[in-house]
């Protein structure tokens, strides 16, 4: 079941971050996606990396990562993205009697993603691979890029202590005398 941004933020906080300052109390402002566009990506991202004891990729901000990068390094992929999403919507409508992806049941949504992941719709292979890659980037990359809220994936992997995605040393500075 799709959850709202607010629920997701709450879930993230409940699951993994009782002590630390929470992530966005309000969802960050979207610059590229419409609210429904972001919701679509959230659902897909949560199918690719679903919630369990740890939030899924959609819950941890993958759509906001993509939203931010589409206005930055991926600017030149905008046409490809729009064309891909248009085809995606058309294929969904064709298969589900005119319905949109957002109105499908969670099971139907997962079945549809499974079928395009297996390559059953060649026209959607490119956009699927792109969304997949961006979702992994948004989930596993540094939070500074708009995803991986509250370092969800780094907590899941138990590597928070050794990661510092913001370019600042997380090791307390130089250790004299060399490697330990």
Partner 1 sequence: MKLDPVDAVVVGAGAGGGVVAYVLARAGFRVVLLERGREIPFGESGHDELRSQRTTVLGNAFGPDDGYYARQIRSPLTGRFYRVKPSEGAYNNVAACVGGGTASYGAMAWRFHPKDFQMLSSYGLVAGSTLADWPITYGDLEPYYERAEHEIGVSGKAGANPFEGPRKKGYPMPPLPYNQEAARLAAGARKLGWHPFPIPMAINSVERDGRAGCIACPHCVGFGCEVDAKNGTQNTVIPRAVKTGNCTLLTEAVAKEILTDAAGKAAGVAYYHQGRLQEQPARVVVVACSATETPRLLLNSKSKAHPSGLGNANDWVGRNLQGHAYSGAYGLFEDEIFDGTGPAARVALCDFNHGNKGIAGGAMLANEFIRLPYLFARSVRPPRMPRYGLEFKKYVRDNYKRSAGVKGPVQEMPLWDNRVEVDPKVTDHWGIPVAAITTRRHPRDAETGRFIAERAAEWLKASGARETWLQVANLNGTGGQHQAGTCRMGKDAKTSVTNPHGRLHGADNVYVADGSVLVTNGGFNPSLTIMALAFRTGERIVRDWRKA
DSSP 103-165: GS-HHHHHHHHHHHHTTSSGGGHHHHHHHHHHHHHHHHS-GGGT-SGGGHHHHHTT-GGG--T
Looking at beta carbons only, is 27 or 46 nearer to partner 1?
Answer: 46
Q: Which of 12, 13, 40, 48 binds partner 1 (CB under 8 A)?
A: 48
> What are the backbone angles phi and psi of residue 80, rounded to the nearest 5°?
-60, -40
Using DSSP's 3-state secondary structure scheme, residue 83 falls into helix
Q: Does 50 bind partner 1 (CB under 8 A)?
A: yes
Widest pairwise Cα distance in the chain: 69
Q: Does 122 bind partner 1 (CB under 8 A)?
A: no
- Which stretch in 25-33, 89-97, 101-109, 141-149 sits in contact with partner 1 by CB under 8 A? 141-149
Q: Which of residues 95-114 bind partner 1 (CB under 8 A)?
A: none
Q: Does 7 bind partner 1 (CB under 8 A)?
A: no
Least distance between partner 1 and beta carbon 97 (Å): 27
Nearest to 37 by CA among 88, 95, 1, 76: 88
Q: Which of residues 152-171 bind partner 1 (CB under 8 A)?
A: 153-154, 156-159, 161-169, 171
Q: Does 29 bind partner 1 (CB under 8 A)?
A: no
Structure token pair of residue 33: 């996606």
Q: Does 141 bind partner 1 (CB under 8 A)?
A: yes
């Amino acid at each position: 079941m799709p959850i709202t941004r607010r629920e997701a933020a709450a879930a993230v906080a409940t699951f993994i971050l009782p002590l630390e300052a929470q992530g966005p109390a309000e969802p960050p402002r979207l610059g590229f996606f419409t609210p429904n566009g972001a919701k679509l990506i959230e659902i897909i991202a949560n199918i690719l990396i679903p919630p369990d004891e740890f939030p899924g990729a959609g819950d941890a901000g993958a759509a906001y990562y993509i939203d931010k990068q589409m206005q930055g390094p991926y600017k030149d992929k905008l046409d490809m993205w729009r064309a891909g999403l248009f085809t995606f919507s058309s294929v969904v409508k064709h298969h589900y009697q005119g319905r949109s992806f957002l109105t499908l049941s969670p099971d139907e949504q997962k079945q549809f993603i499974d079928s395009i992941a297996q390559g059953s719709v060649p026209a959607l292979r490119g956009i699927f691979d792109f969304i997949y890659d961006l979702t992994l980037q948004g989930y596993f990359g540094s939070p500074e890029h708009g995803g991986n809220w509250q370092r969800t994936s780094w907590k899941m992997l138990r590597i928070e202590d050794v990661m510092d995605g913001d370019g600042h040393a997380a090791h307390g500075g130089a250790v004299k005398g060399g490697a330990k």
